Amino acid sequence: MMHKIKNNLGVKVLMAAVSLVSLASLAAFTLLSNVKAAAAALVLVALAVAYANITYGFMLLAFTLPFASLPQLLGNNIAYSEVVLSSLMLAYALRNFRRGEATVRPSPRNLPVLLFLLLTLAAAGKTFMSVGLPPYAGAVNSSSPYFTYRTAHMTVEFAVAYFLFANAFDRRHLKSFAHALLAGAVAASSYSVYQFLFMGAYRPSSLYGPESANMMAMYLVLVAPVAVTYHITEKKGLLRWVLPLTVGAGLILTFSRGGYIGFAASAVLMAYAERSKLKEHKRALAAAAAVLLALAAGTLALVSLEYGRAYRESALCPGPDSWERHVFTWEGPHALVIWAEDGPLHVSVLRGSNKQATVTGQSGVRTCGADCVVDAGERFDAWFNTSITLSLKGGGGGCTRAKILLEDKNAEGLVLDLYAARRLMSRLRDPYAVRYRAGLWKTGVARAFEGPFLGFGFAQFRIGEKSFEHSHNLFIQLAAERGIPCLISFLWLVSAFMRGVLGRRGYLLAFSAGVAGLLVHGLADYVFYPVSAGMLFFAYMALSEDERRVSGGRR
């Protein structure tokens, strides 16, 4: 049941303000782009679709969620889904301005969403006002001013997505929305498969940009239950197999252990909720499980080949003190330790100084019982676009390492690209990610108690943890940067959402399972880092309300 607010003047003033904010957001996307004509064209497309038929605007939003890095071609870091969201907000505001009324759907989730937003803005204000000046000057005290602003801005977008899906989306088109969501996920997953097979990608991240496979996993954890539901509800046709298998392949290739566990949690929830109907679908489920297992086994066998796939890391010389990455560690400003398994280690100078600098492999380093021998006499001058290959001959165990010495101490600005042959299977059994996450969680809890009410501050986690912008845990991160009351409001929202979850069916159950899976994934990562995951999470929160309002009475 919708509540109508009929106050011509008040509603028109509010809708006019919302329209101006939406227009400002769209103008910023256009003006901040290097290719303004192309950016303006993208904005006009989103506006035309949303204003002509707001339902089509929601479909466009669902489809464009994973295309996060495309606007970077225009020199813009704003995802296109954010442009579509602003267009939807503008269309909604203009429609209500013309009518002089607004509609609000009552829900037990409205208040916790509003409280979560207000506490987030209060925590952001505390960070921005840290030097007593409004508001951007305060951000200079942040370790990452952009990340400080971006986190607050994205939370506003999450709340806007919740509000629009709750009050402007026609529930009769829920199935069409799910299909549009699947179309975008299949397109992104197909590109991931292409990256892996033909571009030599270590962990393909599709359209999320480099080093963003975890973001791809967060998005696919939300969409994978929708793909499973599509397979179950569609009675015939090749697509009922192709779509879920493509999405599954995209998720597998992320090599995100948190993503795997999150999807497993989603599957358990869906199976338990539909336990009375499992017998009806047992053949289809058995066939789907067999194909998925074969796909997973084939993928793991492929990436376990002797030479594996190449992955890429970049190192800046001289490196910050105590700066650690997964494959290399700085030992002083001019010595770089590279961790790699047996096989070739390719070192390329991406950008060098005007002076010659030599890079030499040091042999005889012993770690974990494995000897690393680097062929003697291999060195090169650190000019632009030069390269060298070092041969690592270890004693097995996957623990070998090589030390590269930058002999010219005047080689500031030297950037090395490291391509190390490594078996991808080791990604799944590597304990390093668990160890550093445990340390980050401990730091995050300490940060939370340093600022219990409004948090330690946005983007302040890097203070003392120079390598990481967040604690790799959703709940700890919310408490650390926004305060314990904000975490409580989020838990309130989750508890309101989970009431009656086992009574949902069809795509509504898939949405609920996606939320549950992302929350489980959130135990090992900050899953609101990509805007697509957070936006879809809050959209699911809104769409799963009032299950009976679905097309054809089908739940």
Please give the residue that has the higher pLDDT: either 289 or 93.
Answer: 93
- The pLDDT confidence band at residue 372, using thresholds 50, 70 and 90, is very low
**Count of CA atoms in the C-beta half-sphere (13 A) of 161:** 27
Domain count, the chain: 4
Phi-psi region of 255 (alpha: psi -120 to 50; beta: other; left: phi over 0): left
The predicted pLDDT at position 439 comes to 73
Residue 97 shares a structural domain with residue 5: yes
Arithmetic mean of pLDDT, 386-410? 45
Q: Are residues 164 and 175 in the same domain?
A: no
Find which of 9-23, 295-309, 318-332, 403-417 is predicted with most confidence, using mean pLDDT: 9-23
Range with top average pLDDT, 209-213, 438-442, 488-492: 488-492
Give the model's pLDDT for residue 492: 94
Query: Which is more confident, 533 or 448?
Result: 533
Lowest-confidence range among 89-98, 136-145, 235-244, 432-441?
A: 136-145
**Within this chain, do residues 467 and 487 fall inside the same structural domain, yes or no?**
yes
Confidence label for 481 from pLDDT (cuts 50, 70 and 90): confident
Residue that is last in its domain, among 478, 499, 520: 499
Q: Taking 50 as the threshold, does the pLDDT of residue 371 lie above it?
A: no
pLDDT confidence of residue 451: 80
| pLDDT for 487 beyond 50 | yes
Which range in 261-275, 418-432, 433-447 is most confidently predicted, on average pLDDT? 261-275
Max mean pLDDT among 68-82, 354-368, 392-406 falls in: 68-82
Which tokens sit at 305? Answer: 């080949």
Give me the pLDDT at residue 447, please. Answer: 80
The pLDDT tens digits for 49-89 are 988 899 999 999 999 998 876 665 565 667 888 889 999 99
The helix/strand/coil state of 102 is strand
Q: Percentage of the chain surpassing pLDDT 90?
A: 20
The most confident of the ranges 65-79, 86-100, 169-183, 456-470 is 169-183
Are the CB atoms for 529 and 468 separated by under 8 Å? Answer: no
Asked if the model's pLDDT at residue 221 lies above 80, the reply is yes
The pLDDT confidence band at residue 280, using thresholds 50, 70 and 90, is: low
199 or 307: whose pLDDT is higher? 199
Same domain, 95 and 136: no
pLDDT averaged over every residue in the chain? 71
Q: Which of 391, 422, 453 is the last residue of a domain?
A: 422
> Tokens for 206?
């599709």
> Hey, which residues does 5 pair with through a beta bridge?
102
* Confidence check: pLDDT of 339 > 80: no
- Together in a domain, 318 and 411: yes
- Under the banding of pLDDT at 50, 70 and 90, the label for residue 459 is low
Regarding whether 413 and 372 lie in a shared domain, the answer is yes
> Are residues 75 and 122 located together in one domain of the fold?
no
- The answer to whether residue 42 is domain-embedded is yes
Residue 202 has pLDDT above 70, yes or no: no
Task: Report the range of poorest mean pLDDT among 91-100, 292-301, 335-344.
Answer: 335-344
State mean pLDDT over 182-186: 95
168: how many CB neighbours lie within 10 A of its CB?
Answer: 20
Note whether 290 and 213 are same-domain residues: yes
Q: Would you state the pLDDT for residue 485? A: 94
Residue 119 pLDDT: 92
Angle formed by the axes of helices 257-273 and 239-253, to 10°?
140
Q: Give the Cα separation of 249 and 256 in Å (integer).
A: 12
DSSP 374: B
Domain assignment present for residue 244? The answer is yes
Q: Is residue 184 part of a domain?
A: yes
Q: What is the mean pLDDT of residues 92-113?
A: 83
Residue 234 lies in a domain: yes
d(Cα 392, Cα 363) in Å, to the nearest integer? 9
Give mean pLDDT, residues 86-93. Answer: 90
What's the Rg (C-alpha) of the chain?
Answer: 25
* Amino acid 197: pLDDT: 80
| Domain identity same for 258 and 331 | no
Same domain flag for 158 and 194: no
- End position of a domain, from candidates 61, 87, 104: 104
Q: Read off the CATH number of the domain in which 360 is found.
A: 2.60.40
Strands (E), 241-385: 309-317, 328-330, 335-339, 343-351, 359-362, 365-367, 370-372
Model confidence at 472, pLDDT cuts 50, 70, 90, reads confident
Model confidence at 141, in pLDDT bands (50, 70, 90)?
Answer: very low
Report d(CA 228, CA 174) in Å as an integer.
Answer: 16
What's the confidence (pLDDT) of residue 220?
95
Whole-number pLDDT of residue 428? 56
* DSSP notation for 302-343: HHTSTT-EEEEEEEEESPPTT-B-SSEEESSTTEEEEE--SE
Claim to verify: residue 321 and residue 281 sit in the same structural domain = no
- pLDDT tens figures, 514-529: 999 999 999 988 999 8
Range(s) of the domain holding residue 532: 171-304+505-553
Considering the domain boundaries, does residue 427 fall inside one?
A: no
Distance CA 395, CA 433 (A): 23
pLDDT (0 to 100) of residue 366: 36
In a domain, 462, yes or no: yes
For position 279, what pLDDT does the model report?
64
Residues 78 and 121 in one domain: no
* The pLDDT of residue 43: 86
